Structure 1
Amino acid sequence: MTRAFTLAASVAACGLALPAAAQDPTVRIGDLTWTGASAIAHVIEAVIDGPLGSEAEIVEGLSDGSIIAAGIDKGDGSADVFPDLWLPAREAIWNAYVEDAETMAHNAPYLGTQKLYVPAYMAERVRSIEDLRDPEIAAMFDKDGNGKGEYWAGDVGWKSARMWEVKFKSYGLSELWEAENLPDATFKAQLKTAIQREQPILFYYWTPEWVHAAYDLSPIEEPARSEGCENVDLDATDWLEVSHFACASRDAEIFVGYSKSLETRNPPVAKFLSQLRLEPEMVNGWILQIGRDEMDPRDVAENWVRENKDVVDGWID
């Protein structure tokens, strides 16, 4: 009887299981559905399969954040990487597995933002919320001739649409401005046309997203955050009446979460994930190629890893 067989038999006799890494070394990555998360997942996969010389797999259909986090918590290799963990949106997962169970580790975050924008060619006329109080400026954005300027706040049903309606009410702008709620693809087509023609357009957007890589955009300055400036309940029946939001939105912190079991199951991968440093501009570029140019995310990731060896070496050194 071989030593390996004897060890396996002994472990089985004790009612224990061999570590997942001994059975399958593959690092399994969550398949989150938004473009930024997919881009990050494919870059992580490309680094592990390539320069690290290990094995990784984006598990098709593993798209529920709670299930990914539960698999990470188990440490059995069923799920190892949460590629795009947003705070505060995913605070319940963070509290459960990073703070309480201490089974999920993470890298240093990059920041996600939510702001109003105009194209850069309008930046001299429209710089801040104070400028939006000017009726002449609002009239520049009036598309339908009803006396109010339009701004895009997201699609119908998005929380952002309600959030910006609350903000415009809180800033005292409701008499001059109204939200235009359209699907994201429809808005992007409008944005492209407006920029080509250098027309006025005011809109909400977030980072990371490819519009920031494709166009020169200028953010609208909002009042700094202060105690009591944000008190919203967007799920309430009377959400507009009970909510108040008169300051800049808080930046999101966006992490890559991973199972602490990788520190023993696959130390080089754990070290790489702990040292992974992403920047919004980097992710914007990936999203541009995948989302606008419709490139295969695997090709985008492999090309980027090959062309940015110095950055990747810093992640895995």
Structure 2
Amino acid sequence: MLYGSGGIAAATRVAVFSAALLGGAGLAQAQDASACGTDRTIDIAEMTWPSAAALARIHAKILETGYGCNVEVVTGDTVPTSSSMLSRGTPAIAPELWTSAIEQQWEKGIEEGKLVELADAITDGTVEGWFIPRYVQEANPELVKAEDVIARPDLFPDPEDPSKGRLYSCPPGWACELSTSALYEAYEMKDKWNLFSPGSGGALDASIARAFTREEPILFYYWGPTAILGKYDAVQLDLGEVKPDVYACNTDTDCDEPAAVTAYPSSPAVVGAASWVKEDAPNVAEYFSKVGLTNAQISELLVYGEENKADAAATAENFLKTKKDVWHQWVPEEVAAKVDASLN
């Protein structure tokens, strides 16, 4: 026997004390996981397009009310935001950064350790291409490839010139106007198709909405995630393989090569951050590593904004109220409970 009764009591007290310490440490770890972990302001870039703006507001609400972070939403756009993150470490987060437009700058920032990529903002990539309504394809199941549709201008008559089909392009000045015009030329569509410029993004949306509402045929360029692709059941046509060099030439006004056929590349859209976030606010970095959404999910959340004329903040609040099954998976239970309470 190693201990007397006094020794046993002392040993018991030590065991209880140790267990209390371990329990307290476990509790502290659980509490730390739901805390912001930094006193620095987490400034989030609200980009100028609807999906990025809504995502900025979603994340700001969760970080502020759930984690207790000091959060500021700041105006942003792809080039100035990435430049500021690289040179000044602010804003801290760009929740939907399309890096294809800043590829060299972004890679430089990663290599120098000034920028980090926390996750894919759009997990299945952005979408860009030519579309037709599903009801048109169901009535004509042979329409799968662009060539299939191009061979049937009679199915997509131009209202102003029924002897030809109509392809709805992009507004003047947009990059997609160049790419669509190049494909129109490469497919040699001029004799049987008219390339229609809608004049503005709103006019393009109105033309698409009118066709779907009336269940009329329409061939149009579009991209996602967007409210249009979330609201209307459109089928993307097969444009073949992506040829990056061809696409680069098709969208470069100084390229002298003739237009050629290529599919549109899927642009990466990531959650970009200043590198200090990962070092100084690991809980915030961990949170953003889980927040990716699919193209369809983002398009769906934008439908609410479009149908209700809601701004980014209202669109974000609707997502938080109606998609708890999605965003609750991003955070600890304690954080989710705090956000839910703030919404009520």
Q: Could you say whether these structures have the same fold, taking a TM-score greater than 0.5 normalized by the shorter chain as the test? A: yes
1:316 maps to 331
Q: 1:30 aligns with which of 30, 33, 45?
A: 45
Question: After the TM superposition, which residues 88-127 of structure 1 pair with which residues of structure 2 at under 5 Å, given as runs?
Answer: 88-110=100-122, 111-124=125-138, 125=140, 126-127=143-144
Contact 2:153 2:192 in 1 (8 A): no
Tell whether 2:57 aligns with 1:80: no
Q: Which one is further off, 118-127 or 150-159?
A: 118-127
Give the secondary structure class of the aligned counterpart of 2:67. Answer: coil
CA displacement 1:230-268 (0-9 Å, x = unmatched)? 45153435x6x6343312111111101012212233221
In 2: Cα distance, 1:129 partner to 1:281 partner: 23
Contact 2:158 2:194 in 1 (8 A): no
Q: CA deviation at 1:210?
A: 0.4
Give the secondary structure class of the aligned counterpart of 1:118. Answer: strand
CA displacement 1:171-191 (0-9 Å, x = unmatched)? 232322221111111122222
Q: CA deviation at 1:29?
A: 0.8
Q: How many residues align?
A: 290
In 1: Cα distance, 2:206 partner to 2:78 partner: 31
Question: After the TM superposition, which residues 1-317 of structure 1 pair with which residues of structure 2 at under 5 Å, given as runs?
Answer: 25-59=40-74, 62-73=75-86, 78-110=90-122, 111-124=125-138, 125=140, 126-134=143-151, 136-138=152-154, 140-145=156-161, 147-182=163-198, 183-225=200-242, 230=247, 232-236=249-253, 242-317=257-332
Q: Which amino acid aligns with 1:181?
A: S
CA displacement 1:23-45 (0-9 Å, x = unmatched)? x5321011211111101111111
Which blocks of at least 5 consecutive residues in structure 2 are unaligned?
1-36, 333-344
Give the secondary structure class of the aligned counterpart of 2:195. Answer: strand
**How high is the TM-score relative to the length of structure 1?**
0.82
**How high is the TM-score relative to the length of structure 2?**
0.76
In 2: Cα distance, 1:27 partner to 1:83 partner: 12
2:34 maps to none
Contact 1:209 1:287 in 2 (8 A): yes
Which blocks of at least 5 consecutive residues in structure 1 are unaligned?
1-20
Query: CA separation of 1:141/1:300 partners in 2, compared to 1, >3 Å: closer, same or farther?
Result: same
Runs of 4+ in 1 over 6 A off after TM superposition: none
Query: CA separation of 1:231/1:171 partners in 2, compared to 1, >3 Å: closer, same or farther?
Result: farther
Q: Which amino acid aligns with 1:273?
A: F
RMSD between superposed Cα atoms in Å: 2.5
CA displacement 1:48-77 (0-9 Å, x = unmatched)? 113223232112xx324343224433565x
In 2: Cα distance, 1:288 partner to 1:160 partner: 22
Q: CA deviation at 1:107?
A: 0.9
More helix by share: 2
Contact 1:46 1:305 in 2 (8 A): no
In 1: Cα distance, 2:244 partner to 2:52 partner: 32
